[in-house]
Chain A
Amino acid sequence: MVLNSMRLDSVGASVGEKLVADVTQAVGRAIEANGRKTISESLFAWLLVGPAMMFIAVIVAWPLAETIRLSFMEAGLGGEKFVGLANYEDLAGSRKFHQTIVRTFYWMFLSVALKLVLGLIGATLLNAAVPGRALFRVLVMPPWVIPIAIGCIGWLWLYNGYFGVLSGMMMRLGITDVPFEFLAQKQSAFYSAIATDVWVGVPMVTLFFLAAMQGVSRDLYEAAWVDGAGRWYRFRRITIPQIMPVIVSMSLLSAIFTFNSFEIIWILTEGGPRGATTTLIVDTYKTAIGNYKFGEGSARAVIIVLLLGLFSLAYLFFLNKVNKKYGVK
C-alpha cells in the first residue's frame, strides 16, 4: 500500500493507472487459469456438504459430546452433579459389567461368523446356474426389507413353547415331552436371539457376496477349468481370494451392526432371562432409559463408542493388509 502510493506520487498518475490496470489483468488471468476454479470449487463444495454436516452436527455430534460430558456426572431426572470418574470406576469394578462385555463380544463374534458362513453358502447357491435362481434371489431378501421389529414379532411367535411351530415340532419328534419355551431359559434364549439376529443380517451379507462373486472374471474360472481344477478347488483358490476384500469389509459392517443390535434383543427378551441376553447396548438402554440413570448410562455409551472405535481401527488395519495382499488399491 505504502509502496504503491509512493510510486504513484513519483512517477505520475497516468503510469500509476496503467500499473493498476496491468496488475488487475494479471490477477484476473491467474484467477481464471487456476485461482478462481479452486477457490470457488472448494467454496461451492462446502456449500453443498455444509447442510448435511450441520444436520449431523446437531443430531449426532452434539449428543455425542453431551454423552461424554454426562458420563462424568451423576445425572437423573432431578439434576446433575459432577462426580469425575466415579461412573467409570463403578463399571471397572463391576463383575456384572465385565460379564456383559464378554457376552457382547461373544454375541458379536458368533453372530457375525454365522452370518458370514451362511452368507457365503447362500451366495454360492444363488450364484449356481440352476433354473429359478432369479426367483430365489428375491426370496432371500424379505428379512432385510421389513422392519426388524416386525420380523421379531414373527420370531416371538416361533419361539413360543405352547403355540410355536419349533416347540411343536420338537414334541412331535419326541425331543421334548413338555412345551419348550425358547426364550425362558438362559442358554436357549441367548442362542435364539443369535438365530434371529443372523436371520436379520444374512440377506444383506448374501447379497453383497453374490454381487462380488458375479464380478469375478470368468476367464479365471475357465483357465482353471481347462487345467482340470474341480469346483471345490476353484471355489477355494479363485472365488474366495477374489471376493476377500468384500468378505473383510462386510464382516466389519456386520460386526458394527451386531454389536449395536438392540431391537432384536429388546423385543425378544428385554435382555433376560436373568441378564442372559443383556449386551452392552441393552445394558446402556436399561440403565439410562429404564432406570433414568443418565450418567451411568452415558459412561456405558462412551465405552461402547471406544470399543467399537478400537475394533474398527484394528479392522481397517487388517483390511488394508488384505487389500494389499490381493492387489486391490
Chain B
Amino acid sequence: MMDRYTKLQIVGIYACLAIFLTFILLPFFEMFMASLRPLEHLFRSPYQFWSDDFSFDAYKQMWVTVPLLGRYIFNSIYISFMVTGLTMIFVVPAAYAFARLQFPFKNATLGIFLGVNMFTGAVLLIPLYRVLRTLGLLNTYWAMIVPGVAFLIPTGIWLLRSYLEKIPRELEEAAFVDGASRLYTLRRVVLPLATPGLIVVGVAVFIGAYAQQFLFAITFNQTRELQPLPAGLYEFIGYQSVTWNEMMAAALVGVLPVMIIFLFLQKYLVAGLTAGAVKE
C-alpha cells in the first residue's frame, strides 16, 4: 500500500534509473562497440553510431599484436591470488584478536591499521622503492604482491572483524571450558563458522588486488613478462598508431575473470561489505 506507485511515478523511476545506468555503463558499451569495429572504421570522422561492418576480428588479432597478452592476464590473476592468500594469512588472526580478545593498546592498534587507509602507495613510492630494492624484490612478482598486501590488510581486518563479532561467543566459550586451547578453538570452532565471512572478505580483497596493480606495476617492475594486464594494455599504444579496437577487446577480456567472480558472489559480497553500514 505504502509502497504503491502511480503509473507516472513508475515511469519517472525507470527514466531516472535509465539515466543513472547510462552514466555507469556507457564506457563499457562504447568499449564493446569499439572492439567490434575495424580500425579504419574507428578512425572515420564524424562519429557514426551504427555501421554494418561489425566483427569479432579484434578478439582474434589482439593475441597477435601483443603476443604476451595471455601472459599479462595470467599475471594479473596470479598476483591477485597471491595477494589475497597472503593478506588472509595476516588478516584472519588479527581480525579475530580485534573481534574477541582484550589486550593493551587494542584501540590504538586498530586505529593505526585504519590510519594506513589514509595513505595510498603514491605517497610512499620513493621509500617503498628503496625498501623493495633493499629486499631485492624489484622487477619480480613480489614487487607487486608485497605492497598490495600491505595496503589491503587494514580493509581486510576491518571487514572480517565486523563479521566475526556477529558469531555467537557461547560456542567458543563452550570449547574453551572443555579444555580446548585458544588456537584449537580458533581453528576448529571459529574459522569453520566464519567461512562465509572469509569468502566475502577474500573476494573483496581479490577485487582490490586486481584493481590496484597499475601503480605498483609501472613503478616497481620493468620486466615485461611479469606485467599485469592494466600495465600491459599500454602495449597497444604503438609508435605509429593505437590499435584501439584490440585494446578495448583485450581490456574487456581482461576484466572477465573478476566480473565472473563478482557476479557469482555479488549477493554475499554486497551483504558482507555493507554489514557495518546497517544499524542493528
Q: Is residue A294 contacting chain B, with contact meaning CB distance below 8 A?
A: yes
Of A153, A169, A246, the residue contacting B47 (CB under 8 A) is A169
CA–CA, A148 and B124, complex, Å = 20
The number of residues on chain A lying at the interface, defined by a beta carbon within 8 Å of a beta carbon of chain B, is: 95
Q: Is residue B157 contacting chain A, with contact meaning CB distance below 8 A?
A: yes
Using known A-B contacts A49-B98, A140-B21, determine if residue A60 contacts B119 with beta carbons closer than 8 Å.
Answer: yes
Report how many A-B pairs have Cβ atoms within 8 Å: 272
Q: How far is the CB of A288 from chain B (nearest CB, A)?
A: 5
List residues of chain A with CB within 8 A of the CB of B231: 149
What does the 1/0 interface line of A152-168 toward B look like (CB < 8 Å)? Answer: 01110110001111011
Q: Is residue A53 contacting chain B, with contact meaning CB distance below 8 A?
A: yes
Find out whether the CB atom of A289 lies under 8 angstroms from the CB atom of B278: no
List residues of chain A with CB within 8 A of the CB of B16: 121, 125
Q: Is residue B177 contacting chain A, with contact meaning CB distance below 8 A?
A: no
List residues of chain B with CB within 8 A of the CB of A154: 27-28, 30-31, 248, 251
Q: Is residue A211 contacting chain B, with contact meaning CB distance below 8 A?
A: yes
Q: Is residue B166 contacting chain A, with contact meaning CB distance below 8 A?
A: no
Q: Is residue B222 contacting chain A, with contact meaning CB distance below 8 A?
A: no
Of A128, A179, A312, the residue contacting B45 (CB under 8 A) is A179
Find out whether the CB atom of A263 lies under 8 angstroms from the CB atom of B215: yes
Within 8 A of B (CB), among A242-285: 246, 256, 260, 262-263, 281, 284-285
CA–CA, A129 and B31, complex, Å = 32
Q: Is residue B38 contacting chain A, with contact meaning CB distance below 8 A?
A: no
Q: Is residue B263 contacting chain A, with contact meaning CB distance below 8 A?
A: yes
Which of A9-17, A102-110, A184-192, A302-310 lies at the binding interface? A302-310
Report 17 cross-chain contacts, Cβ distance below 8 Å, ordered by A residue. Answer: A41-B103, A49-B93, A49-B97, A52-B94, A59-B150, A67-B127, A140-B24, A143-B27, A145-B211, A147-B258, A149-B231, A153-B247, A157-B31, A167-B47, A172-B46, A211-B274, A297-B126
Query: 9 closest A-B pairs (Cβ-Cβ)?
Result: A168-B47, A211-B274, A154-B27, A66-B127, A215-B278, A63-B127, A149-B230, A59-B150, A48-B93
